[in-house]
C-alpha cells in the first residue's frame, strides 16, 4: 500500500496598488447584521452570508465576485427592510379596519 501526498500552495499576495483598488468594495456587513436583528430575519441572515463572502472573495483575488457578493448583500438588506415595512403596513391597516 502506497500513500502519496500533494502539497497545496497559496497564490502570492496581490501588489499594493491592486489592494488599494480592492478596498473600495464594501461588504455591507453592519447593515446586514442590523437587518437580521431588526427586520425580516431570513433575508437578513442571507445578507450576512453574502457580506461575509465579500472579504473571502477579496482574499482570493476575485474582485468581480466580491462586487457581486456586495451587491447581493445590499439587495437582500433592502428586501429585508421592504418585507418588514410591508408587514407593518398590513398590521396597521388591519388594526384600523
pLDDT digits (tens, 9 = 90+) for 14-50: 555 455 454 589 999 999 999 999 999 999 999 999 9
Q: What is the pLDDT of residues 63-78, one digit of tens each?
A: 999 999 999 999 999 9
* Residue 94 CB-density burial (10 A; 0-12 exposed, 13-18 middle, 19+ buried): exposed
Q: Is residue 11 part of a domain?
A: no
* Residue at 3 is within a domain: no
Q: Which of 87, 83, 25, 95 is nearest to 53 (CA)?
A: 25
Indicate whether 50 belongs to any domain.
yes
DSSP of 60-80, one letter per residue? HT-HHHHHHHHHHHHHHHHHH
Q: Which residues fall within 8 angstroms of residue 46, CB to CB, at 6 or more apart?
A: 76
- Tell whether pTM > 0.85: no
Structural domain range at position 36: 26-96
Amino acid at each position: 500500500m502506497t500513500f502519496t501526498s500533494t502539497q497545496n500552495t497559496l497564490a502570492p499576495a496581490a501588489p499594493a496598488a491592486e489592494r488599494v483598488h480592492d478596498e473600495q468594495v464594501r461588504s455591507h456587513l453592519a447593515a446586514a447584521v442590523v437587518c437580521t436583528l431588526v427586520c425580516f430575519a431570513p433575508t437578513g441572515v442571507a445578507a450576512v452570508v453574502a457580506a461575509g463572502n465579500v472579504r473571502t472573495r477579496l482574499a482570493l483575488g476575485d474582485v468581480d465576485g466580491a462586487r457581486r457578493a456586495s451587491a447581493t448583500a445590499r439587495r437582500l438588506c433592502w428586501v429585508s427592510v421592504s418585507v418588514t415595512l410591508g408587514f407593518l403596513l398590513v398590521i396597521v391597516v388591519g388594526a384600523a379596519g
